[in-house]
Amino acid sequence: MFLNSLNLQNFRSYSSKSVDFLSNVNLIFGPNGSGKTNILEAIFLLSGANSFRASRLAQMISWQKNFASIQGKLNKNNENNDLEVQLIKQDANRISVSHRFLVQKVQKTRKFFLSHLKAVLFHPGDIRLVSGSPSRRRDFIDSFLSRLEWSYASALSQYNKSIKHRNELLDLIFQKQASVNELFFWDQSLIKNGNILYQYRKKFFESANSFFKQNKNIQIQQISLQYLTSIISKEKLDSNLNFDIKNKNTGFGPHRDDYQFDNISFPSEDKNLANWGSGGQQRLAVLALKLAQVNYIESNYNQTPILLLDDIFSELDQDHRHLVVSLCKNHQVFITTSSPRVQKLLPSAKAFYL
């Protein structure tokens, strides 16, 4: 699959912008603040309707505008697909924003929309995955799987709602304003949806570790992801009930899951790269995770994802840059950079200057 063109209206800094792309490598040049990352963000939206940097949808709509439109022409299996995401401000204060998804100019559900464009993003902020907070790592895996599987996105939404309502109810029980029996509905929802999240996460981590072991790069072979999970069940919820009531919070489950990046070659018992890995080793681990994402999409969906590289070459040494360059040979790639030297690594790329 590849993206033929992109048309933006009232999106970020662009009141109107149209770009045609090559089916292989596209280099987007420009100084900081020129809107390079806006292009990648727009393409990323077409893959799943979520931003990798905006905390609110309204932030992506141009100043003093009521809507934004992101349109892309996608060639998939030699068929053209017109994709569009519309962001529309709903209220007088223009804070509430809704999505609208269109395929071939016809409005569709998000579930249907997700099945079209697959993309993997390489972003400098991802370097903090290794040593960052568990919530950052959960958000990363949730974003990835939610863009691939509607059943995961739906289960995650239902699980988060159930956690919120259960915790509110735990507070009322603590104050003796509600009965323990009222937890039954929310407990059942947590068990059902939590198991769906666990199974998808487990499948991805197993796939990633298998990919690492079989990789030709010896350094990547030494990387392992350790999934740190607490499987939710009726027995665990019952046994932890008094503790949860006391703390007015559900103390375990997928919302507490974590994973760590290990290097199996470390001589110590603690092989966590967050504790012992150098900056270069941590960057390689994140790069390996991204490569595992690409492999997961290709293996499970029989699709070649589009790669979005946001100034990633500035974060990598020479050897690791060549890993990325080799990946570019078989994918459509979008690379943002402010350095002309990147073009020397990819002489066949089409260059855009902003």
Q: How do the domains of the chain map onto residue ranges? A: 1-118+303-354, 127-302
Task: Please give the residue that has the higher pLDDT: either 188 or 29.
Answer: 188
Cα separation of the two ends of the chain: 25
CATH level 2 (architecture), domain 127-302? Up-down Bundle (1.20)
Q: Is residue 181's pLDDT more than 90?
A: yes
Q: Is residue 63's pLDDT more than 80?
A: yes
How far apart CA 216 and CA 156 sit, in angstroms, is 35
- Contacts of residue 96, Cβ cutoff 8 Å, sequence gap at least 6: 89, 90
pLDDT by residue (tens digit) across 183-230?
Answer: 999 999 999 999 999 999 999 999 999 999 999 999 999 999 999 998
Homologous superfamily of domain range 1-118+303-354: P-loop containing nucleotide triphosphate hydrolases (3.40.50.300)
Q: Is residue 94's pLDDT more than 70?
A: no
Question: Closest Cα to residue 94, out of 63, 54, 69, 71?
Answer: 63
Q: Is residue 108's pLDDT more than 90?
A: yes
Q: Is residue 311's pLDDT more than 90?
A: no
Predicted local distance difference test score (pLDDT) of residue 43: 96
